[in-house]
């Protein structure tokens, strides 16, 4: 893991954009796995300044809140449509994602597993670090799940800023699994935001354990980690 401590969130976002642009320049058709939330927002907005270079890449959604309508502003779909798909000019046939409010979530996970098998492997996976160490919706557990699955959300995930205003919080999410993520050729991990200092210290302890899923990133051969935690 290559770690860079950044002086500001703006610097983190700019450096992250440089990483993505480097690999897109090498391979315009690359498959980018896109996280949502506050950590990668600056990255995506920086990339919008180079939209012409980005529009040929493919994008796969890392995860999605269960039961929230796709058009709801709290959904990962809404976020990615606004911050990635539309701004970068990604054509519909080059974007792949979980449907959030399907009648059969198990079948939806199977569908996305088939999509990843067809389109993959992921060339570059963008991740944020959850306060409890989750990546995607791979929450701390006795055993982690390899592939696309339904994840019961931890209370800290239900308190996430994306859904904190909802009266009915989602209780589950749909997510790529740990093996799906670790099979990516390269990973870009963004550690930013208030309340992340504890998670940062656990990550940097290098103790690999299922109760802190992000620790498994130490087993990956190519991880770029950019850090800015004001606390």
Active-site hit among 77, 108, 132, 180: 132
SS3 state at 185: coil
Active-site hit among 134, 149, 160, 228: 134
- State the Cα–Cα distance between residues 43 and 49, nearest whole angstrom: 11
- For 172, the enclosing helix (H) or strand (E) is strand 172-175
- State the Cα–Cα distance between residues 81 and 147, nearest whole angstrom: 24
CB 57, CB 96: distance < 8 Å: no
Active-site hit among 64, 108, 139, 180: 139
Written as six digits, the tokens of 168 are 């009915």
**β-pair partners for 2:** 224
Q: Which residues contact 187 (CB under 8 A, 6 or more apart)?
A: 124, 125, 127, 181, 217, 220, 222, 223, 224
Whether 63 is a known active-site residue: answer yes
SS3 state at 23: helix
From residue 60, give the alpha-carbon distance in Å to each of 3, 30, 159, 193.
Answer: 25, 11, 25, 24
Q: Which residues contact 42 (CB under 8 A, 6 or more apart)?
A: 9, 10, 12, 13, 14, 16
SS3 state at 77: helix
Whether 134 is a known active-site residue: answer yes
Active-site hit among 46, 63, 108, 180: 63
Active site residues: 63, 132, 134, 139
């Amino acid at each position: 893991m290559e770690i860079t401590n950044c002086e500001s969130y703006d610097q983190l976002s700019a450096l992250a954009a440089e990483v993505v642009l480097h690999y897109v320049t090498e391979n315009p058709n690359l498959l980018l796995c896109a996280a949502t939330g506050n950590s990668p927002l600056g990255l995506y907005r920086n990339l919008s300044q180079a939209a012409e270079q980005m529009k040929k890449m493919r994008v796969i959604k890392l995860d999605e809140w269960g039961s929230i309508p796709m058009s709801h502003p709290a959904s990962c779909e809404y976020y990615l449509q606004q911050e990635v798909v539309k701004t970068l000019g990604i054509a519909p046939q080059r974007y792949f994602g979980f449907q959030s409010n399907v009648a059969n979530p198990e079948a939806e996970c199977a569908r996305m597993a088939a999509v990843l098998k067809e389109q993959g492997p992921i060339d570059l996976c963008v991740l944020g670090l959850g306060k409890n160490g989750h990546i995607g919706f791979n929450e701390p557990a006795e055993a982690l799940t390899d592939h696309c699955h339904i994840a019961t959300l931890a209370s800290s995930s239900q308190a996430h800023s994306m859904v904190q205003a909802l009266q009915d919080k989602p209780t589950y999410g749909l997510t790529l699994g740990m093996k799906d993520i670790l099979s990516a050729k390269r990973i870009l991990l963004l550690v930013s935001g208030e309340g992340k200092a504890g998670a940062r210290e656990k990550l940097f302890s290098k103790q690999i354990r299922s109760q802190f899923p992000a620790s498994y990133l130490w087993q990956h051969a190519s991880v770029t980690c950019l850090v800015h935690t004001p606390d």
